Chains A and B, each alone.
Chain A
Amino acid sequence: MKKNNKASGNRKTDNKEHLNEYSLSLSLEDNIKLFRDIFRNDDTLITRYLDIPCSGSKGCFVYIDGMVDTQTLSESIIKPILDYDAESHKKNAPDVEQLMNKVVASVNVKKTDVVDEIISAILYGDTAFVIDGSGDVLLLDTKGWEKRAIEEPTSEKVLRGPREGFTESILVNLTMIRRRLQTTKLKFLFKRLGQYSKTKVCICYIEGMASEKILTELVERLDKIDIDGVLDSNYIQELIKDEPLSPFKTIGNTERPDVVAAKLLEGRFAVIVDGSPSALTLPFLFIEYFQVNEDYYQNYIFSSINRLLRIIAAYITISTPAFYVGLTTYQQEMIPEELLFSISASRRGVPFPTIVEAVVMILIFELLREAGTRMPESIGQTVNIVGALVLGQAAVEARFVSSPIIIVTALTGITGLITPKIKGPIISLRFILLFLSAVLGLYGYTFGVMGLFIHLFSMRSFGIPYMLRLGSLRPEDVKDTVVRAPLWFMYFRPQLLSPRNPLRRSKGGR
């Protein structure tokens, strides 16, 4: 703060630093000058003067070009004002109050004289109506900007289930949740975060179901956020998550309203951020990496198999390179003879040690993957062809790499794509385990896995153990973990998440 004062003191302009130093006057010209001053060097600010026929005084609309729906503005605000004939109603010239109550045909009108509030309203697409001779300003809801249509999110496709996805507009998103949970218990708490972005952030939860402790904690953490701009929900995710150094998420995110609704029904919280199509859900537990909304829309046996596959795939993708390197460089006695012979044969004449091969090939795969997500679609084919050549036959035939490592890389890559949500931690874990087993063989790998589990079991998300119930074999606890039990069999909500309202069904009996 001190620094700021000094800096502004050194400046020779008379521009005021804070909005609360401004105040409105009775003169229209002065007020418009005030707005012009606040929005200096910003040519998108439009001021539109008009005479108010009924009172004979002057007025001015202040809004930002492109943020307002001009049709609403002209049809339901300007036209009624111009058409309003005070004489015929045998009334005096309307003051601001009357304009608001009788003339303007806008849904949302507010009278205020707080400059701060007016400015943020203008910035959010409202129109300020400034009237000569009045110290108050009318805020008219004219928000209307171009929005993306509701589409199916590309990152979370389903074969069966709703195809709606969140958009960038927070109100649209909230309505999508509201449509799914039509109860007054569903609460929306708004906040504005970011010094410059002033992003609207909404905490959603179901009262009586979600834990109040977590709510207090969440609000506290959100209040502590001090950042210039919140451009995506990940800004918030990263600023309030537990275990900030861990590669694992402790806050989930989804682009699907049905997923958010399901999480809310389990007693979780959702944080919707304006401008971001992905909503945050919390607390986030480890098993949620493997839970997909489609699991609950399909037959439970099929879902359980799929979930098991996802877990196995995650295990394979972090372990295969480490396992291969450990076996071929330390524990050769564990490889079956025939396999050993063919690995040995294909390794002969390859210039690099196995560990270098493994690291390079996995790096190449990750490069191709990253190129695939960043590049324009039109050159996708080129990358595919080059990738197939580098990661394939040509490399083997040139004896740059041995063929088993290609199989290992391919297996690692494919299994890594099965659960895209866990992609981040997987890449780092894969390399950590790989290096451990390059130094110590399977012994090192085992220690790596032990370390991983110690880390996972020590984590918490908003006070809830990260591996909640994963160490238990009680049927009640396994119902929605490795297998997905039939819906009629799941009586209870996760207990720690929803301590006071544990029953999913009204009777809860068997």
Chain B
Amino acid sequence: MRFIRGISFLLIVFVLMVMNAGCWNYREIDKLTLVTGAAIDKDDGTGKYVVTVEVLDIQPGGQDVETTTRTLSTEADTIFDAIRDLAKQTSERLYWSHAKTVIISRSIADEGILPIIDFISRDQETRFSMFIYISDKKMAKEVFQAKDVPSENVSYFLAELKTIKNTIPEFPTATIKSFIVDIYEEGMEPIIPVVSSIENNGEHIPNIKGSVVFKDDKAIGYLNEEDTKNTLLIKDEINGGVFAQIIQSEKETKKLTLEIFKNNVKIIPRYVNGEVMIEVKIDTNLSIGEMMGDIKVSTEKEHLALKESIEKQIESRCEKTIKKVQKEYGSDIFGFGRAIKAKMPKVWKQIGSEWDERFKDLKVSVKSNVQIRNTALMREPIENIKR
């Protein structure tokens, strides 16, 4: 009797488990078409969305599997509609959990990308960690035509680029999540990297070039690589990488390359004479990686002179970029508003509502403090030692 009761109890538990969980979805792994990324365009004529997905083309095989990709494309009124429609072209279900990249065309970005992001953030398969790129081509789907990448997998190539960000800090990373956070946070606007392509041996390779400045979810401008780098420096997103320093004198041009080890940025809002000011303090720890020309660093005086010239250059670069963003776009991509809100909530209450206007005239001063850690294996250029 106890046994029968136990069994029927188990049965009830089992039935409830099935009913309540809704985890019914038995699907074989080989019956799924794995999506690696998507590109979204808008057809100017019909006004419909053109959704292009890059899917893995896996050939059956035991030992050495050659996976390549192919693209599928369709038009529909909404994104979800288009994605369901795409399944017709594969006869298999599209599986989005491993999709890593979404590329949006510039024309859609100009109109606002929240409608596009909605599906990606709502669906349970697509992930918040997908990377967003803006295409500078006419159609975003052209990016997928680049074939000279590993496994022809452009989406994963773009996603993998984030791993070299520490050595080449020239572009920001934007994910669905970071974009949504930036939009909803007051005093902060997102930037999204731009994907373009360069030619290499006649083949196209996707290439990231600068970034697009957003205001809310609309693209309003473009920052070149130099400006993007400076922006990242102010946003404290650089913790590595190199930048070149040119020392101009009457006689000759000397160049040296500096390698950043550590970078620490403090954005300090100040209230001076009834006016809000921002002071950006950049502490950089770097070493000299390359010297071209007769540069002396052996004595303390020379060392200090070099340090000062580097500091000056960092300050002027950053100020230039800030000015440009303030004047041309008026979008607070540096998060100055956020800093004010955090440090001076009372002031923010007064000025927060009109921050867009205030930002344009905000006084910003940049203070750089450089610490030259070492000069790598050599102290001075070889020609100096010879003498």
Residue positions of A touching B, CB distance < 8 A: 245, 328-330, 332-333, 337, 340-350, 353-354, 396-397, 399, 403, 438-441, 443-444, 447, 451
Contact = CB atoms under 8 A, between A and B. Distances in A.
B13 to A, nearest CB: 8
Contacts of A438: 26
A346 B26 contact: no
B18 A333 contact: no
B156 A337 contact: yes
Given A332-B97, A440-B23, A443-B21, A340 B60 contact: no
Contacts of A350: 30
B125 A345 contact: no
B62 interface: yes
A396 B61 CA distance: 10
B28 interface: yes
Contacts of A332: 27, 29, 32, 95, 97-98
Given A333-B97, A342-B65, A440-B17, A348 B156 contact: no
A62 to B, nearest CB: 51
Contact of B28 (A341, A342, A347): A347
30 contacts: A329-B26, A330-B26, A330-B27, A332-B95, A332-B97, A332-B98, A337-B98, A340-B34, A341-B56, A341-B67, A343-B29, A344-B30, A344-B34, A345-B61, A346-B61, A346-B62, A346-B65, A347-B28, A347-B29, A348-B30, A348-B58, A349-B60, A350-B30, A439-B26, A440-B21, A441-B23, A443-B17, A444-B17, A447-B13, A447-B17
A440 B61 CA distance: 29
B59 interface: yes
A346 B29 CA distance: 10
B58 A341 contact: yes
Interface string B116-127: 000000000100
Interface string B284-309: 00000000000000000000000000
A410 to B, nearest CB: 16
B25 interface: yes
Contacts of B18: 439-440
Interface string B97-128: 11000000000000000000000000001000
A214 B30 CA distance: 57
A329 B27 contact: yes
A345 B98 contact: no
B204 to A, nearest CB: 23
A342 B32 CA distance: 13
Count class of interface residues, chain B: 20 to 34
Nearest to B10: A451
Nearest to B24: A440
A426 B21 CA distance: 28
Interface in B48-84: 56, 58-62, 65, 67
Given A340-B34, A349-B60, A399-B62, A333 B29 contact: no
Contacts, number: 83
Nearest to A403: B62
Q: Kindly name the residue among A347, A396, A397 whose own CB sees the greatest number of chain B CB atoms within 10 A.
A: A347
Nearest to A350: B30
A345 B67 contact: yes
Contacts of A328: 28-29
Q: Kindly name the residue among B3, B28, B29, B97 whose own CB sees the greatest number of chain A CB atoms within 10 A.
A: B29
Nearest to A327: B29
Given A344-B56, A345-B60, 14 more contacts: A245-B3, A329-B26, A333-B125, A337-B156, A341-B67, A344-B30, A345-B61, A346-B62, A347-B30, A348-B30, A348-B58, A348-B59, A348-B61, A438-B26
B62 A397 contact: yes
A329 B28 contact: yes
Contacts of B27: 329-330, 332
A341 B30 contact: no
Nearest to A355: B26
B34 A396 contact: no
A345 B23 contact: no
A443 B19 CA distance: 12
A340 B35 CA distance: 12
Interface string B141-162: 0000000000000001000000
Contacts of A347: 28-30
A350 B34 CA distance: 18
A348 B30 CA distance: 5
Contacts of B56: 341, 344
Contacts of B13: 447
A390 to B, nearest CB: 16
Contacts of A441: 23, 25-26
A268 to B, nearest CB: 29
A345 B65 CA distance: 7
Contact of A354 (B25, B29, B34, B59): B29
A343 B18 CA distance: 27
A396 B23 CA distance: 31
Contacts of B28: 328-329, 347, 353-354
Nearest to A447: B17
Contacts of B26: 329-330, 438-439, 441
A437 B125 CA distance: 20
Q: Kindly name the residue among B10, B32, B62 whose own CB sees the greatest number of chain A CB atoms within 10 A.
A: B62
Contacts of A439: 18, 26
Given A333-B98, A345-B65, A403-B62, A340 B29 contact: yes
Q: Kindly name the residue among B28, B34, B56, B125 whose own CB sees the greatest number of chain A CB atoms within 10 A.
A: B28
A273 B97 CA distance: 61
Nearest to B159: A337
Contacts of B32: 332, 344
Nearest to B64: A345
Contacts of B58: 341, 344-345, 348
Contacts of B29: 328-329, 332, 340, 343-344, 347, 354
Q: Kindly name the residue among A245, A438, A441 whose own CB sees the greatest number of chain B CB atoms within 10 A.
A: A441
B23 A340 contact: no
Nearest to A451: B10
A354 B28 CA distance: 7
Interface string B31-55: 0101000000000000000000000
A225 to B, nearest CB: 22
Contacts of B156: 337
Given A332-B29, A345-B60, A441-B23, A340 B98 contact: yes
Contacts of B59: 345, 348
Nearest to A440: B23
A341 B17 contact: no
